[in-house]
Structure 1
Amino acid sequence: MGNIVVAGPNEVVVVSGGCVKKDSTFVVGGFAWKTWFVSQSKRMSLEVMTLHPSFTSCKTLKGVPVNVRAVAQVRIKHEKEHLKKACEQFLGKEPYEVEDIIINTITGHLRGICDSLEIEYLYRNRECFAQSVIEEATPDAEKMGLEILSFTFLEAGRN
């Protein structure tokens, strides 16, 4: 005996355990069978997360302290290998915990890039700066099963 578990198009249901399968089943926009007392299921949102990475008192290449604010759109990729990575990292965590992990990762890359640039470059080349952050953060994001959809540099101000 068991239950049918249903996942909407904006979530993944992970069914694990059971007598026959060794791998977990990842269901997006469909259904799976869960055996009573033997299998368990957990859900995780696949909706786009709007994140606001920011930091204060970062020194630029010439030692000028700046405050930086940005907005990033991030989501979990829907392919099985990426879902598996994301579930290893985030399954069972609250949405705010997931967002904190991602914000800290992006902020680290953002801070590292700001350290290597002059403040004039930040003001004049916002699109290039944003693209640099995406390029730097993408490998780490992919290790977590994530995709950076967009990154917008809002402002950099002196302290």
Structure 2
Amino acid sequence: MGFETCGPDEVLVVSGCCHEHSRFISNGRVFVWPSIQQVQRLPANLMTLSVENLKAHSKNGIQVSVLGVAEVKICKNVQDILRVAAENCLGKTEEQIGNILREIVQGHQRAVIGAMNIEDIYCDRKKFSLAVFEQASNDVINMGFQLVSFKVENVLDEEGYLMARKAERARNEATQH
């Protein structure tokens, strides 16, 4: 007989005898019968994921690299979603979980890049970030996590398209005056 304690950055998953379904404990402790019940731990701290799409094609066919940051955490307070997280992630390290979630957000970021013009991606980063957040949130929830935030850190145009457009606008403004 023994008690298992759960810290604020984890969720205990108790399974085995005496319960029809696994029990989820966050921020507390639980009595566990050794040999007939099993305790596993899920990381519940906020994960910061670097999301990179290198040389993706925008809607107007220009190659662009976008570097973003996603903040993701497990849904500790919703039992059904927590059950999904347990099914998908028990036995995996926090790094493995982060890699899975990063790939989900990267895929949605690439889709948004393909749906927007490079000027919109570069000039309206809030709109771009919101589009990635909205598209990725559902798939992240389906993994048992929630996307807390997503922001664009940098937009790079290695072909020089944005610099050429900027120079063109400057020339047009100079000829108008």
Query: Shorter-chain TM-score category?
Result: over 0.9
Paired position in structure 2 for 1:83: 82
Q: Shift of residue 125 of structure 1?
A: 0.6
- Which amino acid is the alignment partner of residue 47 of structure 1? N
| Equivalent AA in structure 1 for residue 35 of structure 2 | F
Deviation at 1:110, TM superposition (A): 0.1
Mapped pair 1:64 → 2:29: no
Structure in which a larger fraction of residues adopt helix: 2
**2:36 pairs with 1:38:** yes
Partner of residue 25, structure 1? 23
Residue matched to 2:109: 110
Deviations 1:51-92 (A, max 9, x none): 000021101111111111001111001121221111111111
Identity %: 29
Q: Distance in 2 between matches of 1:73 and 1:36?
A: 36
Deviation of 1:115 (Å): 0.5
Structure 1 alignment gaps of length 5 or more: none
Aligned to 1:129: 128
> How much has 1:113 moved relative to structure 2?
0.5
- Find the aligned partners of 2:35 and 2:105 in 1 and give their Cα distance: 40
Deviation at 1:138, TM superposition (A): 0.9
Q: Tell me the matched-pair count.
A: 157
TM-score, with normalisation over the residues of structure 1?
0.95
Partner in structure 2 of residue 145 of structure 1: 144
Could you say what secondary structure the match of 1:140 adopts? Answer: helix
Displaced runs of 4+ in structure 1, greater than 2 A?
none
User: Matches of 1:34 and 1:53 in 2, distance apart?
Assistant: 39
TM-score by length of 2: 0.86
RMSD: 0.9
Q: Shift of the alpha carbon at 1:156?
A: 1.4
Which ranges of structure 2 fall in alignment gaps of 5 or more residues? 159-177
SS at match of 1:52: strand
Partner residue of 1:51? Answer: 49
Between the aligned partners of 2:8 and 2:80, the Cα distance in structure 1 is 18
| Bigger strand share | 1
Structure of higher CA gyration radius: 2
Question: CA separation in 2, counterparts of 1:148 and 1:15?
Answer: 26
